[in-house]
């Protein structure tokens, strides 16, 4: 189980499937969580099933499973009926395991499966809550790609269906009954298609006021023992949607800053505010305290998240008066930079090796610094060159240097 939760988040379903396979062979496994804005579906197994699983199908399965329950049923998954075992964790994360037909195996008991999945679901929530730079980069890249795909599909099908409707409404056609029936079918299809786009956008965004309320709940145990009062200034409900990566990143930044503020002596009051300034989410945190906040340490701590989100940080401290931290996070992703999308495909160890390549280090030196064999480093370098689509380590190092990735 440690191997299941210790690794890149996008592949957690693959590791969990591998964990279950010896005692419980299965065709496919799907984990569905709204915590992950970029990739709400984590999948493993038969591509004929997992590549076709829709959010609507998973939502329908979840409606049939109560919180903390394990259910065995025949449901539609991937466009076909399959016998599945579904678990809905208390975090509202759903597990769907597609059984192999006519396979005489003894699957884990409901209690054991529920406990195993609880560990996996909790790990997912914790990794998302921490909003590490790796997670934010991967999630933002996935969200951008999904948004482009949905937009293209929606535009194409809208044009097609609008053309069908125009033809069917033509006065040159005589069969009114057939025309009316066809027009109704096409209209329903058009509405359904548009709802798919709306549902997908809903998964990738958060309502600002709801995102801020979630922040308050997360901060309650952190600031419970603060001697002074905490003022929360929530954003105005102006109707705009907050990208999921920005919401996760903003909450992580506030938590880190709140811990730093609370560690100061004699903090009599803390004010936490979110607002919008043009195209930016503005996170503003102030206190009435000794004004001894270690701004340099806080800036270093938050540098990775801010760089991933193209954010900016301002830290001010005035001894005897207090401190202020202001983070500005652009709501729109910057213009596509292919290098950054490629960098987001690297796992943490590959990024670490890439940082050494940016400094021009050879495999033997990197192996010594990281405490692994030289052959392991050669394996990582080969994977890095393939993922970054470059021909040599010098080009990979240049991409890393441009993105600010270097080893210590």
At 73 the pLDDT is 94
At 289 the pLDDT is 80
At 84 the pLDDT is 94
Does 408 fall in a domain?
Answer: no
pTM over 0.85? The answer is no
CATH number of the domain bearing residue 375: 1.10.10.10
Give every strand in the sheet of 94-99, ordered side by side.
41-45, 26-32, 94-99, 80-88, 70-77
pLDDT tens across 352-379, in order?
A: 899 899 888 899 999 988 888 988 899 8
Give the C-alpha separation, 205 to 341, whole Å.
20
Residue range of the domain that includes 81: 2-130
Alpha-carbon distance values, 323 to 212, 274, 282, 386 (Å): 22, 17, 17, 46
Q: Does residue 45 share a domain with residue 8?
A: yes
Q: Does residue 367 share a domain with residue 299?
A: no
Q: Does residue 234 share a domain with residue 179?
A: no
Give the C-alpha separation, 292 to 264, whole Å.
7
Q: Does residue 325 share a domain with residue 224?
A: yes
Q: What is the DSSP string of 109-170?
A: PHHHHHHHHHHHHHHHHHHHHHT-HHHHHHHHHHHHHHHHHHHHHHHHHHHHHHHHHHHHT-
Which of residues 314, 330, 346 is at a domain's end? 330
Q: Does residue 370 share a domain with residue 317?
A: no
Q: Does residue 166 share a domain with residue 255?
A: no
Q: Does residue 229 share a domain with residue 293?
A: yes
Percent of the chain at pLDDT > 70 equals: 76
pLDDT tens across 221-246, in order?
A: 888 888 778 999 999 877 678 888 88
pLDDT tens across 312-344, in order?
A: 999 998 888 889 999 999 987 655 454 556 777
SS (H, E, C) 233-293: ECCCCCCCCEEHHHHHHHHHHHHHHHHHHHCCCCCCEEEEEEEEECCEEEEEEEEECCCCC
Q: Does residue 390 share a domain with residue 280?
A: no
Cβ neighbours of 385 (radius 10 Å): 16
pLDDT band at 297 (very low <50, low <70, confident <90, very high): confident
At 145 the pLDDT is 52
At 37 the pLDDT is 63
Does 407 fall in a domain?
Answer: no
Mean pLDDT of the chain: 81
At 304 the pLDDT is 78
Q: Does residue 114 share a domain with residue 58?
A: yes
At 147 the pLDDT is 57
Q: Does residue 20 share a domain with residue 32?
A: yes
Does 355 fall in a domain?
Answer: yes
What are the phi and psi torsion angles at 17 (to 5°)?
-65, -40
Mean pLDDT of 173-187: 64
Structure-token match 């010594």, residue found? 368
Q: Does residue 18 share a domain with residue 85?
A: yes
Which of residues 115, 130, 145 is at a domain's end? 130
pLDDT tens across 148-179, in order?
A: 555 555 655 665 666 666 666 666 666 666 66
Element (H, E) at 18: helix 12-20
- What's the structural domain count of the chain? 4
What are the phi and psi torsion angles at 332 (to 5°)?
-95, 140
Structure tokens at 74: 């025949």
Beta strands 94-99 and 205-206: pairing type?
Answer: unpaired
């Amino acid at each position: 189980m440690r191997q299941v939760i210790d690794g890149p988040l996008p592949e957690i379903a693959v590791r969990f499937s591998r964990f279950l396979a010896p005692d419980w062979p299965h065709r496919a496994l799907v984990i569905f969580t709204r915590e992950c804005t970029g990739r709400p579906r984590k999948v493993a197994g038969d591509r004929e099933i997992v590549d076709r699983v829709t959010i609507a199908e998973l939502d329908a399965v979840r409606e049939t499973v109560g919180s903390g329950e394990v259910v065995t049923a025949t449901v539609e998954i991937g466009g076909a009926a399959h016998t599945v075992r579904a678990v809905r964790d208390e975090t509202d994360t759903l597990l769907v395991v597609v059984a192999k037909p006519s396979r005489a195996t003894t699957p884990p008991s409901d209690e054991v499966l529920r406990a195993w999945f609880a560990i996996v679901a909790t790990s997912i929530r914790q990794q998302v809550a921490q909003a590490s730079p790796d997670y934010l980069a991967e999630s933002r890249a996935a969200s951008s790609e999904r948004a482009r795909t949905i937009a293209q599909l929606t535009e194409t099908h809208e044009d097609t269906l609008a053309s069908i409707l125009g033809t069917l409404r033509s006065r040159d056609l005589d069969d009114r009954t057939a025309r009316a029936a066809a027009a109704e079918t096409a209209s329903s299809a058009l509405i359904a298609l548009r709802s798919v786009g709306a549902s997908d956008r809903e998964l990738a965004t958060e309502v600002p006021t709801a995102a801020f309320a979630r922040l308050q709940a997360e901060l309650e145990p952190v600031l419970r023992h603060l001697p002074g009062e905490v003022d929360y200034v929530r954003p105005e409900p102006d109707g705009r949607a907050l990208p999921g990566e920005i919401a996760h990143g903003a909450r992580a930044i506030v938590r880190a800053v709140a811990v730093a503020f609370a560690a100061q002596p004699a903090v009599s009051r803390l004010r936490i505010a979110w607002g919008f300034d043009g195209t930016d989410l503005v996170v503003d945190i102030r206190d009435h305290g000794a004004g001894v906040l270690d701004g340099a340490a806080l800036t270093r701590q938050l540098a990775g998240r801010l760089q991933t989100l193209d954010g900016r940080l301002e830290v001010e401290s005035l001894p005897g008066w207090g401190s202020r931290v202001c983070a500005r996070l652009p709501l729109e992703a910057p213009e596509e930079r292919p290098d950054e999308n490629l960098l987001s495909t690297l796992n943490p160890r590959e990024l670490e090796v890439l940082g050494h390549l940016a400094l021009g280090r050879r495999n033997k030196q990197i192996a010594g610094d990281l405490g692994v064999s030289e052959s392991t480093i050669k394996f990582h370098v080969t994977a890095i060159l393939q993922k970054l689509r470059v021909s040599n380590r010098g080009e990979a190092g240049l991409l890393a240097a441009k993105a600010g990735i270097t080893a210590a």
